[in-house]
Structure formats: structure tokens, C-alpha cells
Amino acid sequence: MEWDVPDKVIMVEGLSDKRKVASVLDEEVEIRCTNGTISLTKLDVMVDELIGRDVYILFDADASGEKLRKQFRRELPEARHLYIDRMYKEVEDTPEHHIASVLLTANMKVKTKFTSKRMEE
């Protein structure tokens, strides 16, 4: 490859979600936004760019998030789906320590300050 891209990609819905996830991660991971609903054409282009990479789906726990998950399940069946607790509804409103525990289940490195908070609970 002529330029260095991380092997891991996390798909989120919006920029606020991207910022929240980035604030927890302690490794280089590309975070991409769908910016809400996504056309089939745009999704096809995105899927072509993601082939051969470890893709993780982290969408909101609501109807629009589920709709996007269904699209990605169809078009990118090898992607791994990560879920926040339904009580938080949106990724951007989810506490960092909860996002950290979700990312840890996918063997991603997170900042230690979030893992120590998790241990206290």
C-alpha cells in the first residue's frame, strides 16, 4: 500500500459519535461517519474501500441505527457489530467508560483512565 491506513475501521453515524469514540481509543483506528441514512450507491463505494479491513459497526440503539445496521449486514456481512446499552440510545450520549467496555470486547486498546473507571463499578 502506498499510504498507511489503519487495519481497523469503526463505522458510526455522525461527527459527535466519531469524536466520542476517538476520545476513548488508544490505538490508531479509522472512524468513518455515515452521516445518517446512506444511499445504496454511496454504501457500495464505501464497501469497496473497506474490503480486506477489520470493520466494526457502532450505531445508535434506535430505529435509524437499526436500519443502517441492516444495510451494512447485507452489504458487508463480515463486519462485526458492536452495541451500546439501549438505555443510552445514542453513541454520543453514552458515557466514555461504557464505550470503552464495548471497544474492549472487540480487542481494541482504550485509554486506561476509562478502564479503571469501569473496574470501580
Rounded CA-CA distance 34/14 in Å is 7
DSSP state of 107: T
Give per-residue pLDDT as tens, 7-33. Answer: 999 999 999 999 999 999 999 999 999
DSSP state of 93: G
DSSP state of 110: B
At 2 the pLDDT is 46
State which amino acid sits at residue 51.
I
Q: Are strands 30-33 and 54-58 parallel, antiparallel or unpaired?
A: unpaired
Helix 63-75 × helix 40-50 angle, to 10°: 60
For domain 8-120, give the fold. Dna Topoisomerase Vi A Subunit; Chain: A, domain 2 (3.40.1360)
Q: Taking the domains of the chain in order of start, what are their residue ranges?
A: 8-120
Give per-residue pLDDT as tens, 26-66. Answer: 999 999 999 877 888 998 999 999 989 999 999 999 999 99
* Residues 20/99, Cβ–Cβ less than 8 Å: yes
Rounded CA-CA distance 15/13 in Å is 7
Give per-residue pLDDT as tens, 63-104. Answer: 999 999 999 999 999 999 999 999 999 999 999 999 999 999
